[in-house]
Amino acid sequence: MSIDVAKACQRGRAAVCTVVISVCLLAATLMGPAAAMTPGAPPNPQATTTNPELVNYTNWNFEEQGAIRLVSGWRVFRNKLLAPEQLRGFDCKGATTGYASERISLPDVWGPALTSTVSSGHGVATYCIELDLPQSERFLALRFGTLRTISRITAVYQGDDAHLDVIPLYQNGDPLRAPNVESLNPAVPLISLPYRGERVRIIVQLANYVHKQGGLIDVPTLDYYSRLDAQQRRDASLPMALVLVLLMVSIGTVIIGRMSGNQMRYNVFAFLTAASAFRVFFVSDIIWDYWPSFPLSRKYDFEYLSLFLVLPAYYMFVVMLLGRDKNWFFSKIVYSVSGLFACFAVFAAPFFAPGTVTLLREPFQVFWIINGFVIAFIIIRAVVLGRGEKLDAVIVLFAAVVMAGYELLSVFGLVPFSMEWSQLLVLLVTMLHARAFVVSFRGVEAERDQLTESLLEANTALEGQATDLRLALRRAEESSRAKNEFLATMSHELRTPLNAIIGFSEVMEKEAFGPLENKHYKDYVKDIYGSGRHLLSIVNDILDLARIESGNDELYEDEFDPVLVVEAMLRIVGPQAALKNIRCNLECASDLPMLHADQRKFKQILINLLNNAIKFNFEGGRVTVSIDMVDNGLKIEIKDTGIGMNKDDIPRALARFQQVDSELARRYEGLGIGLSLVDALSEQHGATLEIESEMGLGTRVSVTFPEKRLLFPAQKAAI
């Protein structure tokens, strides 16, 4: 690609030169080596001869002045393929052939760069130059470079017998049959000129029906055969060496990335080096060294594919290295457009006319210009504003300036162009990019190590906290266990005297051993009996909770009618409700099933809920008990019109030995174990406890027993 750009700039194509300047940051990977460029040489001497068609180099000293670049002195017969015999007896002007020719300077390119049809540069032509060479004991040779696309080169010279001889020098096909044959390698090998042929006419027949631009693309070079051969060998070996180096860097990067914690960064750099290797391979003529019959049109497809891959690879590398927003919208545009171009080159191009892919060069170069400005912005921003990535940006910027500077200086002739230097600079730029990548990755590694160290310190602190928490939990569990054991032991110890107090007070209340003469004694005995019964119920509740929490409590289940049990419990709390003038109602559906549960614990659930509904109710309030079937079982609901509580206080009410901390609740006595016991007993039966309450409007508590605990009449009859 760099070679195409250089030639275009030499022909004065400002648009392509602008591309070079705009994508200077991308030149290192974009501009791979091309096939067989001409080496640098001093300017051509002004030929002086009586024959204006003869270019006189008889006084040229190859030892001191170096190679000759055959820029001027050429004539071309456009759209004509003239046989060498037609120009045999006369000069290149071709006065007797009947065809007009024109004098030109090389390179001579057919067709415009910006075109919508690939056939704009198709056609044939015959080029001719007549040289008067110096006498030399060493063989002279010509190096043509690339001719587009099928060519035949012939030499006409005067031998020792003064007879004009025609010698075929090279051909890669028959130009007369060019439209109907597959074009192969267009690169011309080194051509040895006839020995002691001081006056030589070089005739080039050329036909192009593949590329959008045909013609003599490279300026031929004339020099000693040994020097040109050495130069060509170096130029031929460097691309393959560069491909191997880039591939080894890519493969090594992937392998190292698999062993690191940040594989994506390695993969991005590996993609860049692999795309660069792919670019070098197909821009050069290496493919024909291993596959001589590889079609030229397909080679162009892969050459442009490499161009379409290098852009996203380099852009991805710069964004990864220096960009802050990795998900930039412009990134999606770059990857999408490049992907479309690449898909066309791989899958669609073979179905179009040969060389159609070359039409995409200029549109893609415009895209390169836009992308170049974006990448320049990223690099400059990193240099000016960056902190950790400033060194990376400086390295990438230096690499781009070195490569682009050499390309521009060689384009404008300020320094001679050398294929060796171009390829070595590509390698240098790649290594600089590798260095930038290493610098960046070391920074990432340092940050990762710092984060790892911080995480280790945090983990150590967390482990210490976890140990403290485990110890605290163990102490809490031991305290809870000790508390439960204390409560159970104390409750058992209280039960014996309580039973005696209750029994003796009951005997005295009934005056079984004689009347109590003073009525105050009777009142005291009633108080003793009532208080003892109340205290015994509290002790029993504490014992039940302790057994449930320790897992030693068992259910003694049988079948019973829940309605009858509810009615019995309402009768028990009736006197308590009457003291506050509270009405207790029962609402239940007909044909309710039997309940399979522990009847004693079912009564505990009811009595605790009814006691709470009465205790926390207003004077003259109402308590409603409803029993009904729901989708998931039997629902028993107790609703009161009492003081209620806030929704946030419900979890506190369910906790052991806790009461809602409100001014109204503090007026009522209690240990705060009623709801917690109801919750534990409900959970034992697989039932669901739900509480809804609102301050000042009352509370609704429901216990729903699952369907598996219900026994319908038909099931009971079957049993």
DSSP string for 18-82: HHHHHTGGGHHHH----S-PPPP-PPPP----SSTTEEE-TT--HHHH--EE--SSEEEEET---
pLDDT surpassing 80 at residue 420: no
Residue percentage of the chain with pLDDT more than 70: 71
pTM of the predicted structure, to 2 decimals: 0.54
- Strands across the sheet with 145-148, in order? 108-110, 214-216, 145-148, 187-188
Model confidence at 376, pLDDT cuts 50, 70, 90, reads confident
CA dihedral 15, 19, 21, 27 (to 10 degrees): -150
Boundary-marking domain end, from 184, 212, 230: 230
pLDDT band at 276 (very low <50, low <70, confident <90, very high): confident
Residue 706: strand pairing partners: 633
Q: Which residue, 516, 548, 580, sits at the end of a domain?
A: 548
- 521 by DSSP, 3-state: which? helix
**Number of separate domains in the chain:** 3
Shared-domain flag, residues 595 and 638: yes
| 3-class state of residue 347 by DSSP | helix
Tokens of residue 346, six digits: 């791989």
pLDDT tens-place string over residues 167-182: 888 988 888 888 887 7
Least confident of 148-152, 196-200, 618-622, 707-711: 196-200
> Do residues 662 and 649 make contact, with C-beta atoms less than 8 angstroms apart?
yes
Residues 150 and 118 in one domain: yes
Residue of 183, 155, 146, 188 whose CA lies nearest to 171 = 188
Residue 277 included in any domain: no
Shared domain check, 657 and 567: yes
- Residue 621 within a domain: yes
In a domain, 314, yes or no: no
State whether 617 and 523 are in the same domain.
no
CB 394 within 8 A of CB 381: no
pLDDT confidence tier of residue 440, bands split at 50, 70 and 90: low
Q: What is the mean pLDDT of residues 631-638?
A: 89
How many CB atoms are located within 10 Å of the residue 591 CB? 7
Kindly state whether residue 638 falls inside one of the protein's structural domains: yes
Q: pLDDT tens for residues 201-238? A: 899 999 999 988 889 988 999 999 999 998 888 777 77
- Residue where a domain stops, chosen among 548, 583, 598: 548
pLDDT digits (tens, 9 = 90+) for 301-326: 998 998 899 888 888 878 877 766 65
pLDDT tens digit sequence for 243-269 = 888 888 888 888 877 877 667 877 888
Token pair of 476 as six digits: 């809490």
pLDDT bucket at 347, cuts 50 / 70 / 90:
very high
| Most confident listed range (42-51, 433-442, 447-456) | 447-456
Tokens of 392: 């990376």
Q: Provide Rg for the chain, Cα atoms.
A: 51
Tell which residue, 189, 187, 172, has the closest CA to residue 229: 189
Output 394 or 704, whichever has higher pLDDT: 704
**219 and 103 share one domain:** yes
Q: Is residue 161 packed enough to be buried (19+ CB in 10 Å), middle (13-18) or exposed (0-12)?
A: exposed
List the domain range (segments joined by +) for residue 135: 32-230
Do 689 and 567 touch, CB atoms closer than 8 A? no
Q: How many Å apart are CA 353 and CA 298, to the nearest integer?
A: 11
CATH value at residue 499: 1.10.287.130
pLDDT at position 445: 66
DSSP classification of residue 345: I
Average pLDDT, rounded, for the chain: 76
Residues 524 and 564 in one domain: no
Residue 234: strand, helix, or coil:
helix
Q: Within this chain, do residues 533 and 580 fall inside the same structural domain, yes or no?
A: no
pLDDT band at 348 (very low <50, low <70, confident <90, very high): very high
For 6, 218, 401, 424, 605, the CA distances from 409, given in Å and listed in that order, are: 10, 18, 12, 16, 98
**Res. 125: pLDDT tops 90:** yes
Domain co-membership, 561 together with 526: no
Q: Are strands 150-158 and 221-224 parallel, antiparallel or unpaired?
A: unpaired
Domain-embedded: residue 394: no
Please tell me whether residues 72 and 192 are part of one structural domain: yes
